[in-house]
Structure 1
Amino acid sequence: MPVPIRPPRAAALAVLLLAALTACAPPGARASGAPKLAPDAPLPTTVPEGTKLIVGDPATKVALQLSGEIDDFSFAIEWANLSGGPQTSEAFRADALDVGAVAEIPAIHATWTGLPVKIVASRFRKDPLNHPTYELGVAPGVHVKTLADLRGKKIAYSPGQAQGALVLKVLKHAGLTKDDVTLVELPSTGDVYPNALASKQVDVAPIGGVNIKRYVTKFGRDGATIIRHGLRDDPAHLYVRTSTLEDPAKAAAIREYVAAWARASRWTYEHPKEWIAGYYVKDQGLSEADGQYLVGLAGEPDVPADWSEAIARHQESIDILAKETGNPRIEAEDLYDLRYETVGADALEGGTR
């Protein structure tokens, strides 16, 4: 029997999101009152007056504030403090969000749970193997020096999120399957994974961001270690509901937002001091040292004008997940709206505004 993908978590989360977002939910009718935009129709380039997008992309909001571009949009933006696939999909279902910022897995799971979505922007990291998003944390006293050592270990696993898919990819890369390990289902938010490692609830967990540095600093004296997995784990996407793109006004506004998103990505790389002070320190409450570490970890962004390789890698992820979960295989290309393919790259060349 296929293993079902969980529907959006439930009641408590739904109530909180609805309470926070319903007040700014877009009307059911198309904002422009115009006929539906066909999926193969050219993207409109003019945003009608009165158009509004609700965007869940907190980091880009801060980048646009710091760069001074946040007031340059030709439409209104309502910012939603949301991140991650589960929250974003829940907000989509509540008709309370237009654009979400995620990695590669949420679009797959949204499709499997009956929520049609499209990716409209893609960003990666140059030299991704030397700038991984996640590394494998190893619990104190556990012997894992190579990926082959994962056999028989308890590994933290979060279905529906990038970390969960990464675990399955790592196992395949090591010549193992999920039957060769014990997958321990845990949410990947906050300090859950580092704490699970420190308490030996799990032997191995993919940890990212500042937790990579903090985990070894805090628990290294007890024998905690980290190893690299050697795989690409760098996708960053903007995605929307397919129905949102039927509104020509919102489709045009999304095009404008994608261009600004790409410029914001470049701005953060070219202005590390301002980004560290304004985002990591002031907005996220991290130390300057942590901010410097994260800037170095991320490296230079890559916004390609051709999504062919990205789609091929996305297909590999889909195939692994479909096999392991029993869900149907879907075509990665169907998750992308190719009308937006060059928008981000053109913006970096000054061709889109």
Structure 2
Amino acid sequence: MTPIFRLLATLTLGAAALPAASARAAGDFDAKVPPDFQLVVADQRQQLQVAFAASGEQKKLPFKVKFADFRGGPAILEAFRGGALDLAIVGDAPPVQAHVSGYPLPIVGAKLTDAPTYRYALKPGSDIRKLGDLRGKKIAYAEGTAVQPFVLATLQKAGLTKKDVTLVPLRIVDFTDAVRTGEVDIAPMNEPPFSRYLTSFKKDGAQALDLGAQEGLPRNLNYLYASQTSLRDPVRTAAIAAFVRHWAKAVQWTEANPEAWIKAYYVKSQNLPADVGATVHASQGKSSFPALSAVVPRQQHIIDLIHAAGEIPKRLEAKEEFDFRFDQIGAQAAKSDL
């Protein structure tokens, strides 16, 4: 078991067990949310905040939303523990981290895309051309984030184990410098850091693993997960359900209005040139909003992958990480007009 998950496992002592999601009552989300109510949502790289503002979905919400920007699941989990958040957007590993910690944060929304979770950035001068070339290399790694299962899936695809490589524990915000300076040979990056690395350090030899070499690696899966305290409150639960619905519509707007989204997010928020922003946007793929029950097998695979690598103390049940009162909320919103 790795250090962060060993620590999280010790925190489960005396912690309330995660209630079986299937035992939860079907929700009706009909509580009235007062206009002065505020929902606090953890964002990453301002993507939610800009999408809600640019699409106009924030104005449609009958309450206030405060966005707080974070980098990665571990920091978000700590903010939840401190009672600072109602809701957060994360990848597929943070719900596992929360589950192991004994501080469950039930999943209430899911977004799946047909693009890979990460692209692999290579250090200048790297000779890596295929996944099999990773043997003996140093790979940037961040436990408790979506990087963790993505790298483990990469090793599995390449027929390698953790013993065949060196996993270098880093904060996600340090991946760019680590691969640029050669501290690591390869780093999984999402956008826009991936494209920013290639453009900003092109003269220094920045390069990337060909997308074709990543064929078969996991597609990007994002979750909205929520505080159990908030989910016990009928008003906050109703607000969270409304947020999930409008999240689906905001994402659909970004894909239906690429020029406006590129300008609002990639250019104005992330300071990328418009042509780079357009390339990044095109690489993100098409989003869908599956029912929560439909992604349980994918989440179980993630859990089993991390467990098989010895990074969590026992096998967990993925279905326990979902609040199935929200099973169809995002899926139905994506198919309708709000």
TM-score, normalising length from structure 2? Answer: 0.86
* Residue 220 of structure 2 corresponds to residue 234 of structure 1: yes
How far apart, in 2, do the equivalents of 1:316 and 1:307 lie?
A: 15
Alignment correspondent of 2:190:
208
Deviations 1:237-268 (A, max 9, x none): 11012232111111111111100000000000
Q: 1:123 aligns with which of 94, 106, 111?
A: 111
Structure 1 residue 4 displacement after superposition: 4.6
**How large is the RMSD of aligned CA atoms in angstroms?**
2.2
* Residue 62 of structure 2 corresponds to residue 74 of structure 1: yes
Alignment correspondent of 1:273:
259
Alignment correspondent of 2:238:
252
8 Å Cα contact 1:116-1:242 kept in structure 2: yes
Structure 1 residue 103 displacement after superposition: 0.8
How far apart, in 1, do the equivalents of 2:2 and 2:58 lie?
A: 45
Percent identity, please: 35
Deviations 1:59-104 (A, max 9, x none): 2222222222312222232332335312211111111110101111
Structure 1 residue 115 displacement after superposition: 1.1
Closer/same/farther in 2, CA of residues 143 and 345 from structure 1, 3 Å limit: same
Query: Where do residues 182-197 of structure 1 align in structure 2 (5 Å cutoff)?
Result: 182-189=166-173, 192-197=174-179
Alignment correspondent of 1:14:
none
How far apart, in 1, do the equivalents of 2:261 and 2:206 lie?
A: 34
SS in 1 for 2:69: coil
Q: Which amino acid aligns with 1:116?
A: P
Q: Which amino acid aligns with 1:227?
A: D
8 Å Cα contact 1:134-1:206 kept in structure 2: yes
Where relative contact order (Cα < 8 A, 6+ residues apart) is larger, the structure is: 2
Alignment correspondent of 1:102:
90
* Residue 157 of structure 2 corresponds to residue 157 of structure 1: no
How far apart, in 1, do the equivalents of 2:202 and 2:323 lie?
A: 44
Q: 2:306 aligns with which of 302, 318, 321?
A: 321
Closer/same/farther in 2, CA of residues 279 and 142 from structure 1, 3 Å limit: closer
Closer/same/farther in 2, CA of residues 155 and 242 from structure 1, 3 Å limit: same
Alignment correspondent of 1:5:
5
TM-score, normalising length from structure 1? Answer: 0.82
How far apart, in 1, do the equivalents of 2:134 and 2:203 lie?
A: 19
Q: Which amino acid aligns with 1:338?
A: F
Alignment correspondent of 1:167:
151
Closer/same/farther in 2, CA of residues 220 and 132 from structure 1, 3 Å limit: farther
* Residue 126 of structure 2 corresponds to residue 142 of structure 1: yes
Structure 1 residue 223 displacement after superposition: 7.3
Unpaired segments ≥5 residues, structure 2: 9-22
How far apart, in 2, do the equivalents of 1:194 and 1:297 lie?
A: 19
Alignment correspondent of 1:311:
296
Alignment correspondent of 2:11:
none
Using the TM superposition, name which of 224-233 and 153-162 deviates more.
Answer: 224-233
8 Å Cα contact 1:140-1:219 kept in structure 2: no
Q: Which amino acid aligns with 1:281?
A: V
Structure 1 residue 163 displacement after superposition: 1.4
Closer/same/farther in 2, CA of residues 62 and 162 from structure 1, 3 Å limit: same
* Residue 46 of structure 2 corresponds to residue 64 of structure 1: no
8 Å Cα contact 2:121-2:207 kept in structure 1: yes
Structure 1 residue 313 displacement after superposition: 1.2
How far apart, in 1, do the equivalents of 2:252 and 2:233 lie?
A: 29
8 Å Cα contact 1:197-1:204 kept in structure 2: yes
Closer/same/farther in 2, CA of residues 7 and 266 from structure 1, 3 Å limit: farther
8 Å Cα contact 1:137-1:225 kept in structure 2: yes
8 Å Cα contact 1:47-1:75 kept in structure 2: no
- Aligned pair count reads 316
Deviations 1:27-63 (A, max 9, x none): xxxxxxxxxxx93242322324254311123322222
Q: 2:318 aligns with which of 332, 338, 342?
A: 332
How far apart, in 2, do the equivalents of 1:74 and 1:198 lie?
A: 45
Structure 1 residue 194 displacement after superposition: 3.1
Alignment correspondent of 1:32:
none
* Residue 276 of structure 2 corresponds to residue 294 of structure 1: no
Deviations 1:287-345 (A, max 9, x none): 212211221011221112x3344211111111111222142211111111111121112
How far apart, in 1, do the equivalents of 2:205 and 2:72 lie?
A: 32
Q: Which amino acid aligns with 1:201?
A: E
